[in-house]
Structure 1
């Protein structure tokens, strides 16, 4: 027993600095992530800023009943899942494909330049990118539509056509983030045993066959894991992207839960209903996160704890 106590004391002294380093992050998470959860009470109140959270009248599930009766709420939920599903799929496939292409570049200087170029959009905010996309996707003066008309086709109203808008959101989000996503796949490729390629080359396999049967085969488990883990955040769409690019004429296909919360809370001052929408989204996200981590553990043995 004394030996066990001594080993625990030694381990505690050794790990104490790491726990102290973690403490500021834990405090910040507690303040900014768990502290505001007191506001969930607003979902069950007819909230009044004058009376505050603890003074507003309790209305039970009335806000949720009102939410279910909002016109086109079914479309908003569908739009959320539809756009999120496209972003989820493209966010896995495109980075994996680009990582394979980058791996085939032999000149390190060229490879580094390309990596920097594709990583850079990740660090730009949607406030900046929205202005750029509004200009280049303009149906009259945008460079994209000028190219389309040169080919003999009619201009496409990317940000004003309800049929095109969801796909525009998925593609622009993928363009912004795919470079950063390639990091995971490039790291996976760097961990492949080089002797596998040497053995395949001795057996007469060409570069294409090596890529398909070795590189792609090694990436598929990681792609499946990333897909499963990202499933938990499927409802956390880029609010900044859609808010800065959509307009009332594309509400039918572009309005999502986050933008609905913004309009209900910030514009219509229906704080209780907006909180109810946010709580609904959080519960669904919790279920998806729990399922995705459970499934990841079953498929690939991934564990957080």
Structure 2
């Protein structure tokens, strides 16, 4: 009995696992482990495909050779960046890229806002849902399918030429080989494919508007147009500015797949943009260092545009992206 009492009264000398303190970082991470598990796949995606490849940008400052590798290729400093501004072809490609981007900002960017405003005015709920589903369905089509449809309609023996020849007796028109028609076609394709999907963001912003504002404006005698102009648009102005800032960050990124599938020798002079130029130089001509320098230049310009647009928005009293 005495030995049992002594065993109970004496503290145990066996090693015990140390638990994290209540407010320690380890305890917080453990308590939120399921939330971080959901975040982990997206984090790994950006880490593997976005951040780790940034180390490969070092070849922009080298005369890179696959046989010598990163460590033994000769350093050339900023020579490849100097080539960007000395090469007339790069200047033409840069002009094509900027022209196409600003056309998309001027015409494709406002379309989702207009669609959201119009859908918000539809009072029959099932009609509203049906229209919204119909207009954002093209987003789920790949660019290969979209360009394939455009080709079927606009090629020399396509549907449009067949209809115009049968109805009006017109000669066949090579729509896909007309240089001045290339950029409008690109913009129209972007509008048809992506405008409906962009309305989701603006409809969500409109849904957050206080309904009492509309009720008060109706009592004051405001019509539908005045309610849109004085209530709806000011309510989604912050969302519009944030998306515009993000769009400016990709002003040198026109989308490789769409442009590449639309290019042909007849429109290459007006349709070759930085994305396709990097592909031709880096992959087809094996000029890896120069192609990397062009891509790095594009990324730096995009970063500068985002930071500048964000500061400008804050100077005018708007909320930026950070």
Judge same fold: TM > 0.5, yes or no.
yes
Q: Where does 1:97-116 land on structure 2 (aligned, <5 Å)?
A: 97-116=114-133
Contact 1:92 1:223 in 2 (8 A): no
Return the structure number with greater relative CO, CA threshold 8 A, min gap 6: 1
Q: 1:290 to 1:221 in 2, by over 3 A?
A: closer
5 Å-filtered alignment, 1:1-305, equals 6-7=22-23, 11=28, 13-143=30-160, 146=163, 157-298=174-315, 299-304=317-322
Q: Distance in 2 between matches of 1:95 and 1:137?
A: 26
- TM-score by length of structure 1 reads 0.87
CA RMSD of aligned residues (A): 2.7
Can you give the 5+ residue segments of structure 1 that lack an aligned partner in the other structure? none
- Residues 208, 17 of structure 1: CA spacing in aligned structure 2 closer, same or farther, 3 A cutoff? same
Give the whole-Å Cα distance in 1 for the aligned partners of 2:187 and 2:314. 28
* Gapped regions of structure 2 (runs ≥ 5): 1-20
**Is the contact between residue 96 and residue 219 of structure 1 (CA under 8 Å) also seen in structure 2?**
no
CA distance in 2, matches of 1:13, 1:53: 40
- How many Å apart are 1:20 and its aligned residue? 4.4
1:148-182 Cα shifts (integer Å, max 9, x gaps): 99689987654322212112212211221111110
User: Are residues 213 and 278 of structure 1, via their aligned partners in 2, closer, same or farther at CA, if it must alter by over 3 Å?
Assistant: same
**Residue 268 of structure 1, CA deviation:** 1.1
Listed one character per residue, the Cα deviations across residues 251-279 of structure 1 (whole Å, up to 9, x for unaligned) are 22211111100000111111111111111
Question: 209-218 or 225-234: which moved more?
Answer: 209-218
| CA–CA separation in structure 1 for the residues paired with 2:165 and 2:47 | 51
Q: Distance in 2 between matches of 1:118 and 1:99?
A: 11
Structure of higher CA gyration radius: 2
Structure 1 residues 151, 115: closer, same or farther in 2, change over 3 A? farther
Pair 208,242 (structure 1): closer, same or farther in 2 beyond 3 Å: same
Contact 1:64 1:276 in 2 (8 A): yes
Q: TM-score, normalised by structure 2?
A: 0.82
Instruction: Output the CA distance in 1 between the equivalents of 2:201 and 2:208.
Output: 11
Q: Is the 8 A contact 1:229 1:296 kept in 2?
A: no
CA contact (8 A) 2:242 2:321 kept: no
- Shift of the alpha carbon at 1:93? 0.9
